[in-house]
Amino acid sequence: MTETPRISLDGVSYTYEEAPSPALSQATAAIREGEFVAVLGHNGSGKSTLAKLLNALYIPTEGTVLVCGYNTKEEKYTWEIRRRAGMIFQNPDNQIVATVVKEDVAFGLENLGVPTVDMIPRIESALATVRMSKFADTAPHMLSGGQKQRVAIAGILAMEPSVIIADEATAMLDPSGRQEVLDTLLALNKNKNITVVWITHFMEEAAKADRVIVVSDGSIVEDGTPGEVFEKTDRMRELHLDVPHMTALAEELRSEGMPLPGGILTVEDMVREVEKIICPSKSAT
């Protein structure tokens, strides 16, 4: 693994025009290649601002953002940065431009000036990766929310990015749509080594990441593995954030005297740990 981070934030602040205080202040973090990072925070915490800074949609008022080694402040690199760090937005309807799925996937390639003959295989493979090949000729308004988000992912994949930033990409979807989108990105992260920045307020989703960054009132307040971060249950409550249900349950059981270890995030973790306590012979085999 190369030591230069994919994304590095160094003392980054951003103030909206006419806003009295910065939406994000003094954020410093480095995201390495192949990491799946969840950014957590409640509404108005500055997590969406952070996302837009990673894609040169916003330019920091203070500090520097480096994406794949390019400084977002330098205008000549803007398109290079946006190609390498693709972004999926919250509303699935408001990011599809074309009237047919495959043409929407082509949109980014058309903007980059990719010759038509090279476009077709790239579109086909991108649609195959998100398992949307059979919808290539469908009108976007016929698709479900989760399918639309997968089309948006394909549109970014066709541009061959190294980072995908999902700005609350599941907030408007139903549970099955959320699962579809998260699974697609987890697979891309695993199989293609694409770095993913997953901005969300769902704790269960964040629990699946390699690393969790918590943003509150415009500052990065926690940064660590999901186990480490969610272990601080009281700290999370203080930040008006929930912890995953299983972590909360583990804590309650512990206070009732059950000797559960820390770092329980999912139902699977819980089952394993409880089994160890109630029938040690089974877990030993």
Partner 1 sequence: MLKNITLGQYYPVDSLIHRLDPRIKLILTIAFIVAVFMVHTLAGYAVIFAFVFWLSRLAKVPFRMLLRGLKPLRFIVILTFLLNLFFTPGEKVLVEFWIIRITEESLLQAVHYSLRLIFLVLGTSLLTLTTSPVSLSDAIEILLTPLKKIRFPAHELAMMMTIALRFIPTLLEETDKIMKAQMARGADFESGNLFNRARAMVPLLVPLFVSAFRRAGDLAMAMESRCYHGGEGRTRLRVLKIQNNDWAACGIMVLLIGLIVLEGILL
Q: Under the rule (CB under 8 A), what is the footprint of partner 1?
A: 52, 55, 57, 79, 82-83, 86-87, 89, 91, 93-100, 102-103, 106-116, 119-120, 123, 139-142, 155-156, 159
Q: What is the DSSP letter of 222?
A: E
Instruction: Answer yes or no: are the C-beta atoms of 241 and 203 closer than 8 Å.
Output: yes
User: What is the distance, to the nearest Å, from the Cα of residue 65 to the centroid of all Cα atoms in its chain?
Assistant: 18
Closer residue to partner 1 (CB): 57 or 253: 57
Cβ proximity of 189 and 195 under 8 Å: yes
* In the complex, least distance from residue 23 CB atom to partner 1, rounded to whole angstroms: 16
167 pairs with which residues across the strands? 199
Q: Closer to partner 1 by CB, 159 or 239: give it.
A: 159
* Nearer Cβ to partner 1 (85/209): 85
Compare residues 97 and 279 and give the one whose CB is closer to partner 1. 97
Q: Which residue number, 38 or 143, has a Cβ lying nearer to partner 1?
A: 143
CB of 79 to partner 1, least distance (A): 5
CB closer to partner 1 out of 5 and 161: 161
Which residue lies nearer to partner 1 by CB, 11 or 121? 121
CB of 260 to partner 1, least distance (A): 43
C-alpha–C-alpha distance, residues 145 and 173, integer Å: 6
Distance (Å, whole) CA 153 – CA 129: 10
The residue type found at 48 is S
Least CB distance from residue 187 to partner 1, whole Å? 22
Largest separation between any pair of C-alpha atoms in the chain = 66
Two structure tokens written together for 227: 């186990």
The Cβ of residue 191 has, within 10 Å, a number of other Cβ atoms equal to 9
Task: Provide the phi-psi class of 45: left if phi over 0, else alpha when psi is between -120 and 50, else beta.
Answer: alpha
What Å distances lie between residue 247 and 28, 85, 273, CA to CA?
A: 28, 33, 12
- Least CB distance to partner 1 at residue 30 (A): 22
Least Å distance between CB 94 and partner 1? 4
Q: What is the CA radius of gyration of the chain?
A: 20
Min dist CB 110 to partner 1, Å, is 5
Strands 85-88 and 62-67 come out as unpaired
CB 56 within 8 A of CB 78: yes
